[in-house]
């Protein structure tokens, strides 16, 4: 007798599980419930329809109930909400939202793929009709229709994560002036402050009014617009702004009410706890996607990463196990990428906060490299922040900000981390090279070389955050090794200039009893200067990332 599998939820995890199950077993009975109209849509493409980059509504819908049934023979029941799960009887109770009738459906195995819901702050006026969230296609149409119908002049986006930044860009592209508010001192909390500063500068350059360290306290109607009271979380002061609409993009919470009511185990955040087979605390119930607690590949501990990539993999793994194929989820790196106007940001693995919180003895390195040979027209430089284990040089995490080629390099790093490669391995990677696409020493190789030099003691680094303390000392020498012209264009206060090419001729001017802290533009010439000085008896440190990183952080 064939098995019967009931799936609650479509989109990434649920639809993937259904399709995989059918490919593995032509006879299995599959019933998929979706309380909305759409079972499979391009969730990550929604902001780009609002901004006009994606022109047609139809492009957002990947599969209809009819097409999914035709291809995979899945009994799709959209506009039907599952209201309860009875573990003991192995049945769910469903409510047909069109007819308002309830009925029971029995299962051999159940897959919960209910996803996540936008976090809504408990503040006055949050239910105003001019306040929007973005999670699904109806949300998208609602925002798009409002923009097209009322032609708002301004908007406040609350939240500096993926949805917040994507909506900021797309509202600007639609001709709307945008305020962007985030309670942190930076956007994109999963990256380091240094990398976030590149994004801050890009947002400001594109005319976005960036309100860091703020959170909403109330939203009120004010004639034809909205008056929003914002609290500065650092100074504990208040201010008000007026806009025509508000986008809430404060992250998501797992949509796990069904699982909780059914008595399944969840973590403190409410995410369903699953094992490596995506099995819940009930032997007949699996859970996949944003509703679940996932597993951090590097830290070897539970985490919560609501991304499409892990959801798809988890749906496939649950299907495999139901079909009798032993399959396990190996954990997530949290690899992600985002376009922010003319900038691309990508990251994978640990960030510095993770490393500190988990007591990891890590090092970090900043490198700046072109996406292709500099003699080929229009090279675009990328900033790469690499975290590594000081003991063996194993790569722990990477953040890359730049233009073309960022995605390619971050994918290489993600592969390297998954393979537990070290910086020494990065130096040996043989990556594709031709002048339009890369350099003989790829940016990935260069990151490896920089870390190798640190681990083997050929150079010692210091960082931008160290500079305020250094400026108070009189027992050191602060040296800028750029050209006279570069130095005159802008430099760090307190640093004297001796260009690299004349450094050997001026060694007699330097006091060997004092430690030298030096900088150049991006760190490469500083490394050369460090080698000259250290081999002449000086104790020397090089500014990782150089003046380029310093000026970016300071907004110069």
Active site residues: 44
| Residues 45, 168: Cα–Cα separation, whole Å | 14
Residue 62: exposure state from Cβ atoms within 10 A (0-12, 13-18, ≥19) = middle
Helix, strand, coil shares of the chain as percentages rounded to 5?
A: 30, 30, 40
List b or e across 341-380, with b for residues whose CB sees 16 or more CB atoms inside 10 angstroms.
Answer: bebbbbbbbbbbebbeeeebebbbbbbbbbbbbeeeeebe
- CB count in 10 Å sphere of residue 159: 25
Yes or no: say if 322 and 3 are a contact pair by the CB < 8 Å rule: yes
List b or e across 173-192, with b for residues whose CB sees 16 or more CB atoms inside 10 angstroms.
Answer: bbebebbbbbbeebbbebbb
Residues in contact with 197: Cβ distance below 8 Å, sequence separation at least 6, in sequence order: 186, 552, 553, 555
Residues in contact with 547: Cβ distance below 8 Å, sequence separation at least 6, in sequence order: 480, 482, 486, 490, 491, 492, 519, 520, 521, 522
- CB count in 10 Å sphere of residue 75: 17
| Residues 32, 4: Cα–Cα separation, whole Å | 11
| Residues 273, 421: Cα–Cα separation, whole Å | 30
Q: Which residue stretches of 465-534 are H helix?
A: 467-470, 484-489, 524-534
Record the tokens describing residue 386, joined without a space: 């690499």
Yes or no: say if 523 and 447 are a contact pair by the CB < 8 Å rule: no
- What three-state secondary structure class fits 224? coil
Yes or no: say if 195 and 386 are a contact pair by the CB < 8 Å rule: no
| Residues 109, 95: Cα–Cα separation, whole Å | 20
Yes or no: say if 265 and 280 are a contact pair by the CB < 8 Å rule: yes
DSSP code, position 476:
E
Full DSSP string of 264-310: --B-TTSPBP--TTSB-SSTTEEE-GGGB-EEETTTTEEE----HHH
Residues in contact with 75: Cβ distance below 8 Å, sequence separation at least 6, in sequence order: 29, 30, 31, 32, 69
Full DSSP string of 243-265: ES-EEE---EEE--HHHHHTT--
Q: How far, in Å, are 9, 168, 553 from residue 37 at the CA level? A: 11, 27, 46
């Amino acid at each position: 007798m064939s098995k019967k599998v009931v799936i609650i939820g479509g989109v990434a995890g649920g639809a993937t599980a259904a399709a995989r199950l059918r490919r593995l077993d032509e006879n299995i009975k599959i019933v998929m419930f979706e309380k909305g109209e759409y079972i499979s849509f391009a969730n990550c493409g929604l902001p780009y329809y609002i901004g006009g980059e994606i022109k047609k509504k139809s492009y957002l819908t990947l599969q209809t109930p009819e097409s999914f049934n035709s291809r995979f023979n899945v009994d799709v029941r959209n506009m039907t909400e599952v209201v309860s799960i009875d573990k003991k009887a192995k049945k769910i109770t469903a409510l047909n939202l069109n007819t308002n009738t309830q009925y029971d459906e029995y299962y051999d195995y159940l897959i919960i793929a209910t996803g996540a819901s936008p976090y809504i702050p408990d503040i006055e006026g949050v239910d105003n009709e001019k306040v929007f969230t973005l999670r699904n296609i109806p949300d998208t149409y609602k925002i798009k229709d409002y923009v097209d119908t009322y032609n708002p002049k301004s908007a406040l986006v609350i939240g500096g994560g993926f949805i917040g930044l994507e909506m900021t860009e797309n509202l600007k592209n639609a001709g709307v002036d945008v305020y962007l508010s985030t309670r942190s001192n930076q956007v994109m909390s999963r990256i380091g402050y240094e990398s976030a500063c590149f994004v801050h500068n890009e947002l400001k350059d594109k005319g976005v009014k960036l309100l860091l360290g703020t959170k909403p306290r109330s939203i009120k109607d004010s004639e034809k617009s909205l008056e929003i009271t914002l609290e500065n979380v650092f100074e504990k002061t208040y201010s008000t702004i007026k806009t025509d609409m508000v986008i809430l993009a404060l992250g998501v919470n797992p949509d796990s009410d069904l699982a909780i009511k059914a008595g399944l185990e969840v973590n403190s955040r409410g995410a369903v706890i699953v094992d490596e087979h995506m099995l819940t605390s009930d032997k007949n119930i699996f859970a996949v996607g944003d509703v679940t607690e996932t597993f951090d590949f590097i830290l070897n501990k539970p985490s919560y990463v609501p991304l499409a990539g892990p959801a798809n993999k988890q749906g496939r793994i649950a299907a495999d196990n139901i079909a009798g194929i032993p399959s396990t989820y190996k954990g997530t790196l949290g690899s992600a990428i985002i376009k922010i106007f003319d900038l691309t940001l990508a990251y994978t693995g640990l960030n510095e906060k993770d490393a500190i919180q988990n007591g990891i003895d890590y090092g970090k390195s900043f490198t700046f490299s072109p996406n292709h040979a500099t003699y080929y027209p229009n090279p675009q430089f990328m900033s790469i922040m690499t975290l590594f284990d000081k003991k063996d040089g194993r790569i722990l995490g990477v953040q890359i900000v730049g233009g073309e080629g960022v995605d390619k390099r971050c994918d290489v790093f993600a592969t390297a981390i998954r393979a537990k490669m070290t910086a020494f391995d990065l130096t040996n990677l043989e990556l594709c090279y031709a002048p339009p696409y890369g350099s003989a020493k790829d940016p990935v190789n260069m990151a490896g070389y920089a870390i190798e030099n640190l681990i083997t003691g050929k150079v010692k680094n210091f960082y931008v955050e160290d500079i305020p303390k250094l400026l108070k000392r009189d027992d050191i020498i602060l040296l800028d090794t750029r050209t006279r012209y570069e130095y005159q264009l802008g430099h760090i206060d307190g640093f004297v200039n001796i260009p690299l090419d004349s450094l050997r001729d001026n060694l007699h001017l330097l006091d060997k009893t004092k430690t030298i802290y030096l900088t150049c533009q991006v760190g490469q010439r500083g490394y050369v200067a460090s080698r000259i000085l250290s081999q002449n008896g000086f104790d020397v440190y090089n500014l990782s990332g150089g003046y380029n990183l310093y000026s970016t952080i300071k907004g110069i």
